[in-house]
Amino acid sequence: MKIAVLGSGAMGCLYGGKLAEAGLDVTLIDVWKEHVDAINAHGLSVEGIGGDRVIKNIKAVTTPEEVKGCDLLIVFVKATLTSQAMESARCIMGPHTSVLTLQNGLGNVEKISAVVGKEKVIAGVTGHGSTLLGPGKIRHAGQGNTVIGELNGKIDERLEAVGSVLEKGGFSVTLSNNVMGLIWGKLIVNIGINALTAVTGLKNGRLVDFPETEELLCGAVEEAMAVAKAKGISLEIGDPVEHTKKVARLTAENRSSMLQDVSNKRKTEISVINGAVVEEGVQYGVPTPINKVLYNLVSVKEKTYNEV
Ligand code: PAF
Protein backbone atom coordinates (compact mmCIF):
# COMPACT_ATOMS: atom_id res chain seq x y z
CA MET A 1 0.00 0.00 0.00
CA LYS A 2 1.34 3.45 -0.97
CA ILE A 3 0.82 6.01 1.77
CA ALA A 4 1.30 9.79 1.62
CA VAL A 5 1.10 12.09 4.63
CA LEU A 6 -0.12 15.61 3.89
CA GLY A 7 1.32 17.92 6.53
CA SER A 8 4.36 16.29 8.10
CA GLY A 9 4.98 18.20 11.28
CA ALA A 10 5.16 16.46 14.63
CA MET A 11 2.13 14.18 14.19
CA GLY A 12 2.48 13.59 10.45
CA CYS A 13 6.08 12.47 11.00
CA LEU A 14 5.05 10.22 13.89
CA TYR A 15 2.42 8.36 11.85
CA GLY A 16 4.43 8.36 8.61
CA GLY A 17 7.61 7.36 10.44
CA LYS A 18 6.11 4.44 12.31
CA LEU A 19 4.38 3.15 9.15
CA ALA A 20 7.64 3.38 7.19
CA GLU A 21 9.43 1.60 10.03
CA ALA A 22 6.97 -1.27 9.56
CA GLY A 23 8.09 -1.53 5.93
CA LEU A 24 5.26 0.41 4.26
CA ASP A 25 5.91 2.74 1.33
CA VAL A 26 5.50 6.22 2.87
CA THR A 27 6.04 9.71 1.45
CA LEU A 28 5.88 12.71 3.76
CA ILE A 29 4.67 15.97 2.23
CA ASP A 30 5.51 19.25 3.91
CA VAL A 31 6.13 22.80 2.71
CA TRP A 32 9.10 23.26 5.11
CA LYS A 33 12.04 22.61 2.75
CA GLU A 34 14.75 22.40 5.42
CA HIS A 35 12.75 19.68 7.21
CA VAL A 36 12.14 17.75 3.98
CA ASP A 37 15.83 18.04 2.99
CA ALA A 38 16.95 16.84 6.44
CA ILE A 39 14.69 13.75 6.24
CA ASN A 40 15.92 12.89 2.72
CA ALA A 41 19.57 13.40 3.68
CA HIS A 42 19.70 11.75 7.13
CA GLY A 43 16.36 9.97 7.71
CA LEU A 44 13.72 10.87 10.32
CA SER A 45 15.06 11.01 13.89
CA VAL A 46 12.60 9.89 16.53
CA GLU A 47 13.21 10.03 20.26
CA GLY A 48 11.02 9.26 23.26
CA ILE A 49 8.51 6.39 23.30
CA GLY A 50 9.90 3.37 21.43
CA GLY A 51 13.48 4.50 21.94
CA ASP A 52 15.76 6.85 20.06
CA ARG A 53 16.24 5.85 16.44
CA VAL A 54 16.57 7.07 12.88
CA ILE A 55 14.05 5.90 10.30
CA LYS A 56 15.82 5.77 6.95
CA ASN A 57 13.36 4.18 4.52
CA ILE A 58 11.14 7.23 4.27
CA LYS A 59 10.87 9.85 1.51
CA ALA A 60 9.86 13.47 1.90
CA VAL A 61 8.73 16.02 -0.68
CA THR A 62 7.62 19.65 -0.57
CA THR A 63 4.71 19.41 -3.02
CA PRO A 64 2.00 16.81 -3.72
CA GLU A 65 2.95 16.88 -7.45
CA GLU A 66 6.10 14.94 -6.53
CA VAL A 67 4.01 11.99 -5.24
CA LYS A 68 2.97 9.62 -7.98
CA GLY A 69 -0.43 8.65 -6.58
CA CYS A 70 -1.25 6.83 -3.36
CA ASP A 71 -3.77 4.42 -1.86
CA LEU A 72 -4.05 6.19 1.47
CA LEU A 73 -3.59 9.90 2.09
CA ILE A 74 -3.29 10.75 5.79
CA VAL A 75 -4.05 14.42 6.45
CA PHE A 76 -2.24 16.12 9.31
CA VAL A 77 -2.07 19.74 8.16
CA LYS A 78 -3.27 22.38 10.60
CA ALA A 79 -7.06 22.57 10.45
CA THR A 80 -6.81 26.19 9.32
CA LEU A 81 -5.01 25.01 6.14
CA THR A 82 -7.14 21.97 5.28
CA SER A 83 -9.03 23.38 2.26
CA GLN A 84 -5.92 24.88 0.68
CA ALA A 85 -3.82 21.74 1.27
CA MET A 86 -6.48 19.39 -0.09
CA GLU A 87 -6.87 21.52 -3.24
CA SER A 88 -3.13 21.17 -3.82
CA ALA A 89 -3.33 17.41 -3.23
CA ARG A 90 -6.03 16.74 -5.84
CA CYS A 91 -3.27 15.47 -8.15
CA ILE A 92 -2.51 12.57 -5.75
CA MET A 93 -6.06 11.27 -5.75
CA GLY A 94 -6.73 8.13 -7.78
CA PRO A 95 -10.06 6.32 -8.15
CA HIS A 96 -9.30 4.14 -5.11
CA THR A 97 -7.47 6.60 -2.87
CA SER A 98 -8.90 6.93 0.64
CA VAL A 99 -8.28 10.03 2.73
CA LEU A 100 -7.88 9.67 6.49
CA THR A 101 -8.04 12.77 8.67
CA LEU A 102 -6.73 12.54 12.22
CA GLN A 103 -6.51 16.31 12.62
CA ASN A 104 -7.52 18.37 15.60
CA GLY A 105 -10.43 20.78 15.48
CA LEU A 106 -13.84 21.08 13.86
CA GLY A 107 -14.61 21.29 10.14
CA ASN A 108 -11.90 19.07 8.61
CA VAL A 109 -14.29 16.35 7.42
CA GLU A 110 -16.47 18.93 5.69
CA LYS A 111 -13.50 20.72 4.07
CA ILE A 112 -11.90 17.48 2.79
CA SER A 113 -15.25 16.16 1.55
CA ALA A 114 -15.81 19.39 -0.38
CA VAL A 115 -12.63 18.68 -2.40
CA VAL A 116 -12.59 14.88 -2.84
CA GLY A 117 -16.18 13.80 -2.09
CA LYS A 118 -17.34 12.42 1.23
CA GLU A 119 -17.22 8.77 0.10
CA LYS A 120 -13.39 9.00 0.02
CA VAL A 121 -13.11 10.23 3.60
CA ILE A 122 -12.41 8.31 6.79
CA ALA A 123 -12.12 10.35 9.96
CA GLY A 124 -10.69 9.67 13.35
CA VAL A 125 -8.82 10.86 16.36
CA THR A 126 -5.46 10.10 17.86
CA GLY A 127 -4.39 9.94 21.46
CA HIS A 128 -0.71 10.29 20.57
CA GLY A 129 1.36 13.35 21.34
CA SER A 130 4.46 14.35 19.39
CA THR A 131 6.81 17.33 19.37
CA LEU A 132 8.75 18.67 16.41
CA LEU A 133 12.28 19.23 17.74
CA GLY A 134 13.81 20.64 14.58
CA PRO A 135 14.26 19.75 10.91
CA GLY A 136 13.85 15.98 10.53
CA LYS A 137 13.55 15.38 14.27
CA ILE A 138 10.57 14.56 16.49
CA ARG A 139 9.91 13.34 20.01
CA HIS A 140 7.13 10.82 20.59
CA ALA A 141 5.86 12.20 23.88
CA GLY A 142 2.54 10.50 24.60
CA GLN A 143 0.59 7.52 23.40
CA GLY A 144 -3.03 6.48 23.19
CA ASN A 145 -5.54 4.86 20.91
CA THR A 146 -6.21 5.74 17.27
CA VAL A 147 -9.97 5.53 16.68
CA ILE A 148 -11.29 5.72 13.11
CA GLY A 149 -14.70 5.58 11.48
CA GLU A 150 -16.55 5.88 8.18
CA LEU A 151 -18.76 8.96 7.85
CA ASN A 152 -21.80 6.70 7.24
CA GLY A 153 -21.14 4.82 10.48
CA LYS A 154 -20.49 1.47 8.74
CA ILE A 155 -17.65 -0.77 9.85
CA ASP A 156 -16.78 -1.93 6.34
CA GLU A 157 -13.88 -3.66 4.59
CA ARG A 158 -12.15 -0.39 3.75
CA LEU A 159 -12.20 0.76 7.37
CA GLU A 160 -10.87 -2.61 8.51
CA ALA A 161 -8.08 -2.44 5.90
CA VAL A 162 -7.00 1.06 7.01
CA GLY A 163 -7.16 -0.08 10.64
CA SER A 164 -4.90 -3.06 9.84
CA VAL A 165 -2.38 -0.79 8.10
CA LEU A 166 -2.19 1.45 11.17
CA GLU A 167 -1.84 -1.58 13.43
CA LYS A 168 1.05 -2.76 11.28
CA GLY A 169 2.71 0.56 12.16
CA GLY A 170 2.37 -0.27 15.86
CA PHE A 171 -0.71 1.88 16.54
CA SER A 172 -3.47 0.48 18.67
CA VAL A 173 -6.65 0.98 16.64
CA THR A 174 -10.37 0.94 17.42
CA LEU A 175 -13.05 1.09 14.71
CA SER A 176 -16.03 3.31 15.53
CA ASN A 177 -19.55 3.81 14.16
CA ASN A 178 -19.85 7.31 15.65
CA VAL A 179 -17.25 9.47 13.99
CA MET A 180 -18.76 12.87 14.89
CA GLY A 181 -19.00 11.78 18.53
CA LEU A 182 -15.32 10.86 18.32
CA ILE A 183 -14.31 14.16 16.78
CA TRP A 184 -16.23 16.09 19.41
CA GLY A 185 -14.68 13.91 22.12
CA LYS A 186 -11.20 14.83 20.88
CA LEU A 187 -12.23 18.45 20.38
CA ILE A 188 -13.25 18.58 24.02
CA VAL A 189 -9.80 17.34 25.10
CA ASN A 190 -8.14 19.98 22.93
CA ILE A 191 -10.52 22.60 24.34
CA GLY A 192 -9.45 21.74 27.88
CA ILE A 193 -5.72 21.48 27.23
CA ASN A 194 -4.41 23.35 24.20
CA ALA A 195 -5.28 27.02 24.73
CA LEU A 196 -4.47 26.83 28.44
CA THR A 197 -1.00 25.45 27.73
CA ALA A 198 -0.49 28.06 25.00
CA VAL A 199 -1.40 30.89 27.38
CA THR A 200 0.55 29.60 30.41
CA GLY A 201 3.50 27.95 28.65
CA LEU A 202 2.92 24.80 30.76
CA LYS A 203 3.33 21.20 29.61
CA ASN A 204 0.05 19.25 29.53
CA GLY A 205 0.53 17.46 32.86
CA ARG A 206 1.14 20.69 34.80
CA LEU A 207 -2.40 21.93 34.05
CA VAL A 208 -3.81 19.57 36.67
CA ASP A 209 -1.13 20.47 39.24
CA PHE A 210 -2.65 23.90 39.94
CA PRO A 211 -6.24 24.52 41.10
CA GLU A 212 -6.37 27.68 38.95
CA THR A 213 -5.60 25.95 35.64
CA GLU A 214 -7.60 22.85 36.61
CA GLU A 215 -10.67 25.05 37.24
CA LEU A 216 -10.36 26.65 33.80
CA LEU A 217 -9.76 23.26 32.12
CA CYS A 218 -12.94 21.89 33.74
CA GLY A 219 -14.99 25.00 32.92
CA ALA A 220 -13.94 25.09 29.26
CA VAL A 221 -14.76 21.38 28.89
CA GLU A 222 -18.16 21.76 30.59
CA GLU A 223 -19.10 24.57 28.21
CA ALA A 224 -18.15 22.43 25.20
CA MET A 225 -20.18 19.51 26.60
CA ALA A 226 -23.22 21.80 26.82
CA VAL A 227 -22.75 22.85 23.18
CA ALA A 228 -22.33 19.22 22.06
CA LYS A 229 -25.54 18.30 23.92
CA ALA A 230 -27.44 21.17 22.28
CA LYS A 231 -26.24 19.91 18.86
CA GLY A 232 -27.37 16.34 19.61
CA ILE A 233 -23.81 14.93 19.46
CA SER A 234 -23.50 11.64 21.29
CA LEU A 235 -20.09 11.72 22.94
CA GLU A 236 -18.13 8.49 23.19
CA ILE A 237 -16.38 9.45 26.42
CA GLY A 238 -18.13 8.81 29.72
CA ASP A 239 -17.00 11.78 31.80
CA PRO A 240 -15.36 14.37 29.51
CA VAL A 241 -13.90 16.42 32.38
CA GLU A 242 -12.23 13.39 33.99
CA HIS A 243 -11.19 12.12 30.56
CA THR A 244 -9.50 15.43 29.68
CA LYS A 245 -7.62 15.47 32.99
CA LYS A 246 -6.55 11.87 32.35
CA VAL A 247 -5.24 12.79 28.87
CA ALA A 248 -3.33 15.72 30.43
CA ARG A 249 -1.70 13.28 32.85
CA LEU A 250 -1.04 10.62 30.18
CA THR A 251 0.62 13.24 27.95
CA ALA A 252 2.16 15.05 30.95
CA GLU A 253 5.51 15.64 29.27
CA ASN A 254 3.98 16.87 26.02
CA ARG A 255 3.98 20.48 24.92
CA SER A 256 0.56 20.65 23.25
CA SER A 257 0.41 21.41 19.55
CA MET A 258 -0.90 24.91 20.35
CA LEU A 259 1.91 25.59 22.81
CA GLN A 260 4.37 24.47 20.13
CA ASP A 261 2.69 26.85 17.68
CA VAL A 262 2.85 29.92 19.91
CA SER A 263 6.43 29.10 20.96
CA ASN A 264 7.37 29.07 17.27
CA LYS A 265 5.21 32.13 16.48
CA ARG A 266 3.02 30.10 14.11
CA LYS A 267 -0.68 30.48 13.44
CA THR A 268 -2.59 28.27 15.91
CA GLU A 269 -5.76 26.20 15.59
CA ILE A 270 -7.59 28.35 18.16
CA SER A 271 -10.34 29.31 15.65
CA VAL A 272 -11.26 25.64 14.98
CA ILE A 273 -11.02 24.57 18.64
CA ASN A 274 -12.16 27.07 21.33
CA GLY A 275 -13.30 29.54 18.64
CA ALA A 276 -15.47 26.90 16.98
CA VAL A 277 -17.20 26.13 20.27
CA VAL A 278 -17.85 29.82 20.89
CA GLU A 279 -19.39 30.11 17.40
CA GLU A 280 -21.52 26.98 17.84
CA GLY A 281 -22.51 28.23 21.31
CA VAL A 282 -23.84 31.46 19.80
CA GLN A 283 -25.79 29.44 17.24
CA TYR A 284 -27.36 27.16 19.87
CA GLY A 285 -27.79 29.79 22.60
CA VAL A 286 -25.25 28.16 24.94
CA PRO A 287 -22.96 30.55 26.91
CA THR A 288 -19.22 29.85 26.51
CA PRO A 289 -17.42 32.62 28.49
CA ILE A 290 -14.29 30.63 29.42
CA ASN A 291 -13.77 29.51 25.83
CA LYS A 292 -14.26 33.09 24.65
CA VAL A 293 -11.56 34.33 27.05
CA LEU A 294 -9.16 31.57 25.93
CA TYR A 295 -9.95 32.34 22.29
CA ASN A 296 -9.32 36.05 22.78
CA LEU A 297 -6.06 35.55 24.71
CA VAL A 298 -4.54 33.16 22.15
CA SER A 299 -5.73 35.39 19.29
CA VAL A 300 -3.95 38.39 20.84
CA LYS A 301 -0.81 36.29 21.36
CA GLU A 302 -0.87 35.47 17.63
CA LYS A 303 -1.39 39.12 16.69
CA THR A 304 1.56 40.29 18.80
CA TYR A 305 4.20 37.71 17.83
CA ASN A 306 6.31 40.47 16.35
CA GLU A 307 6.07 42.72 19.39
CA VAL A 308 7.53 40.34 22.00
O1 PAF B 1 -3.00 18.92 20.30
C2 PAF B 1 -2.33 18.20 21.06
O3 PAF B 1 -1.23 18.52 21.48
C4 PAF B 1 -2.89 16.84 21.46
O5 PAF B 1 -4.13 16.67 20.81
C6 PAF B 1 -3.03 16.56 22.94
C7 PAF B 1 -3.91 15.34 23.16
C8 PAF B 1 -3.60 17.74 23.69
C9 PAF B 1 -1.70 16.14 23.51
O10 PAF B 1 -0.75 17.14 23.54
Read off the pLDDT of residues 158-176 as tens digits, 9 standing for 90 and up.
999 999 999 999 999 999 9
- Ligand 1 neighbourhood includes 256 CB (under 6 angstroms): yes
> With bands split at pLDDT 50, 70 and 90, how would you rate the model's confidence at 129?
confident
| Max CA separation in the chain (angstroms) | 54
Residues known to be catalytic:
186
**pLDDT of the residue at 245:** 97
Read off the pLDDT of residues 38-76 as tens digits, 9 standing for 90 and up.
999 999 999 999 999 999 999 999 999 999 899 999 999
Helix (H) or strand (E) holding 195: helix 179-200
Could you tell me if 160 and 170 are in contact, meaning their C-beta atoms sit under 8 angstroms apart?
no
Could you tell me if 191 and 221 are in contact, meaning their C-beta atoms sit under 8 angstroms apart?
yes
> With bands split at pLDDT 50, 70 and 90, how would you rate the model's confidence at 243?
very high
Alpha carbons within 13 A on the beta-carbon side of 94? 12
**What mean pLDDT is predicted for residues 141-149?**
92
pLDDT at 308 over 80: no
Q: Separation of 117 CA from ligand 1 center, angstroms?
A: 28
Return d(Cα 89, Cα 76) in angstroms, integer: 13
Could you tell me if 130 and 156 are in contact, meaning their C-beta atoms sit under 8 angstroms apart?
no
- Ligand 1 neighbourhood includes 189 CB (under 6 angstroms): yes
Q: Separation of 63 CA from ligand 1 center, angstroms?
A: 26
Q: Separation of 205 CA from ligand 1 center, angstroms?
A: 11
Q: What angle do CA 254, 178, 230 make, to 5 degrees?
A: 90
- Ligand 1 neighbourhood includes 101 CB (under 6 angstroms): no
**pLDDT of the residue at 142:** 86
**Average pLDDT score over the chain:** 96
The three-class DSSP label of residue 290 is helix
Ligand 1 atom at shortest distance from the alpha carbon of 254? 10
Torsion angle in degrees (nearest 10) through CA of 105, 143, 92, 25: 180
- Ligand 1 neighbourhood includes 254 CB (under 6 angstroms): yes
pLDDT at 141 over 90: no
- Ligand 1 neighbourhood includes 129 CB (under 6 angstroms): yes
Read off the pLDDT of residues 254-274 as tens digits, 9 standing for 90 and up.
899 999 999 999 999 999 999
> With bands split at pLDDT 50, 70 and 90, how would you rate the model's confidence at 185?
very high
Q: What angle do CA 288, 79, 104 make, to 5 degrees?
A: 65
What is the pTM (predicted TM-score) of this model? 0.89
